[in-house]
Structure 1
Amino acid sequence: MRYGICPISIAPLRAEASDKSELVSQVLYGEIFKIIEPRKSWSRIRLAHDKYEGWIDNKQLREIESEDYHSIHQLPKSYCTDLISHVTHEDGSLSTICIGAQISSSAFLGDKFNGEYYDFAEIEKSKIVENSLLFLNTSYLWGGRNPLGIDCSGFTQLVYRLNGHSIPRDASQQANIGEALSFIEESEPGDLAFFDNKEGLITHVGVVMQDNYIIHAHGKIRIDRLDQSGIFNVESNSHTHKLRVIKKII
C-alpha cells in the first residue's frame, strides 16, 4: 500500500481520472490518505478521516512513508480556524491555507504554522453554530469544502470537524449517525436537520440554530426558518426543502 498527504491548500477530488470529471469533494492541506489505485498522472485515494474515495492529480499530492501516515493518523488533530491563513516553508516562502486544514500534519511537510487553532477539550456544542456563522454567504459549490465554495454536507462536516468530531462526507451518510428526534422543539443549536427529495432520498443537511432557524448551503450559506414541514425561505415565501429528520450527533 502507498500513502500520501496533501501539500497544497485545496486539491480537487474527482469522480474519474480527468480534469473534466465531476468534483466530488476536496482534499485540504495536511490531510492524509491511502493511494489505492496509482496511475501515471492520477491516483485513486481513500481519505483517512472519512474514508471518502476519488481521483487526485499526482502533481497535487506528496507520497509519504507508511510510518509517517500512521504517526499522523494517531496524532491529536489540530485544524486551522482562521478563514484564510498561511504556512511558512523551509525556504521562507509562504503558502495560503484555509479553515479546516490539518495543521497537525505541517511538521511532516516541513512547514511552520503560526495561526489560530482550538483546544478541543474546551469546545462546547454551541461552538458549532458559532463556527457555522464564519461561512455565512459563502458561495455554494458542489463538492466544495472551503470558505470560497462549499456544499451542504461539506459545510456540516467541516464545522463538526473544527469541533473535534468526525462525521461522514455526504448528507445521506451523515443521516445514518446520531439520535433521531421526534420534534423540532427537542433539538438544540448544533444538531443536524436532514431533508429528502420526492423519491425519499436524503439530499440536503443543515445546522439547527436557536428559535427555529437553520444555517445551510443553498445557493450560498444562508439562514432560513425551520418548521415541521422543512426550510421556509422568507425571500421566496415558500418551502425549499422537505424535512425528513433532525438528529442529535453529539
Structure 2
Amino acid sequence: MPFGICNLSIVPLRLEPTDTSEMVNQVVFGEHFEVLEKTKKWSKIRLAFDNYEGFIDNKQYEDISEKDYQGLSLETKNYAGELIDFITDNNNNLTTIPLGAKLPFLKGNSIQINNTSYLYEGKVCNQQLPKSTIVETAFLFLNVPYLWGGKSPFGIDCSGFTQTVYKLCGYNLLRDAKEQATQGEVLSFIEESEPGDLAFFDNEEGVITHVGIIMNDYNIIHAHGKVRIDKLDHSGIYNVDTNQHSHKLRVIKRFI
C-alpha cells in the first residue's frame, strides 16, 4: 500500500474527489497517511493520527516509503507550538506552518521529509501535560473564526478545536464530535466536571453535533462563529451575546 505525507502548510481533505466537494477536514504540514486509492488527480487517504478518511489533491503531498510511515508512527510526536511559524528548506525556500503541525524526524532544529531537510527554530510540543494546561492551550485559539472542517488558527470547527488542543497537550482524540463522544468517562452532573473536561451537545434528532471545553465557574470555550467563551448550564450553552441557549447538552466526559 502506498503512503504519503503533507509537505504544505494546510491542505483541504474533501468528501469527494473534486475541488468543489465539501471540505470535511484538513491535513496540516507533517501529517502522514495511507493512500487507499489513487487516480490521475486525487488520492483517497486515511490519516495515521485518527484514521480519518477523505480525498486529497495529488499535487499537495509527497509519497513516502512504508519504512518512513512506520517510523513516523512510532517516533515521539513533535508538534509546532507557535500560533504561526515557518520552516526553511535546503534552498532557503520558506514554508509557513500552523500551530499543531507535525515535525517529522525532528533532530535538533532539523526536520526531514524524504531528501529535503527543513530548519525549524520554534517551540516544540512533545510531552503529556497536566490537565490544567488544556484550558490555557485553548485560549491560544480565542477568536479564531469558525470553519467547517478546519483545524488551524486561520479557521477551525468545534471538534477540530478540541482535537488540536488535546493533541498539543499530549492526548489523542478522534476527529468528529460524535466520535469523540465515544471516548472518555461519562460524568453524571455538571457539578462533577473540571476545567479541561468536554461537554457534548446534540440536535433535534439526538445526533451529537457539537463539543466544547469546560472552564471554571460554569463557562465553556467552543467554536461557534468563532472560538468564544459562553456559559454552561444543565440545559446547554447559554450565549452571552444573544442571551439565548444555542446548544442542548447531551453528555459531559472526562478524558484526563
TM-score interval (norm. to shorter): over 0.9
Alignment of 1:24-63 (within 5 A): 24-63=24-63
Task: Give 1:164 deviation, angstroms.
Answer: 1.0
Question: Structure 2, unaligned stretches of length 5 or more?
Answer: 106-110
Task: Give 1:113 deviation, angstroms.
Answer: 1.2
Residue in 2 aligned with 1:23? Answer: 23
Determine which of 232, 237, 240 is the counterpart of 1:231.
237
Task: Give 1:217 deviation, angstroms.
Answer: 0.5
Residue in 2 aligned with 1:147? Answer: 153
Residue in 2 aligned with 1:156? Answer: 162
Task: Give 1:67 deviation, angstroms.
Answer: 0.5
SS at match of 1:68: helix
Alignment of 1:203-214 (within 5 A): 203-214=209-220
- Could you report, residue by residue, the CA deviation over 1:166-224 in whole angstroms, capped at 9, with x for unpaired residues? 11000000000100001111111111000000111000000000110000010000000
Residue in 2 aligned with 1:107? Answer: 112
| 2-structure distance, mates of 1:232, 1:135 | 20
What is the percentage of aligned positions where both structures have the same residue? 55
- Could you report, residue by residue, the CA deviation over 1:84-131 in whole angstroms, capped at 9, with x for unpaired residues? 00111011121100000001343235212111013415x111111011
Residue in 1 aligned with 2:108? Answer: none
Would you say the 8 A contact 2:236–2:249 is kept in 1?
A: yes
| 1-structure distance, mates of 2:151, 2:235 | 28
Would you say the 8 A contact 2:174–2:180 is kept in 1?
A: yes
- TM-score, normalised with respect to structure 2: 0.96
| 2-structure distance, mates of 1:210, 1:117 | 28
Residue type matched to 1:52 in 2?
Y
SS at match of 1:131: helix
- TM-score, normalised with respect to structure 1: 0.98
SS at match of 1:91: coil
Residue in 1 aligned with 2:83? Answer: 83
Spell out structure 1 runs of 4+ moving beyond 2 A. Answer: none
- The CA RMSD over aligned residues, in Å, is 0.9
| 1-structure distance, mates of 2:68, 2:193 | 41
Question: Structure 1, unaligned stretches of length 5 or more?
Answer: none
SS at match of 1:231: strand
| 1-structure distance, mates of 2:31, 2:135 | 24
SS at match of 2:166: helix
Task: Give 1:72 deviation, angstroms.
Answer: 0.9
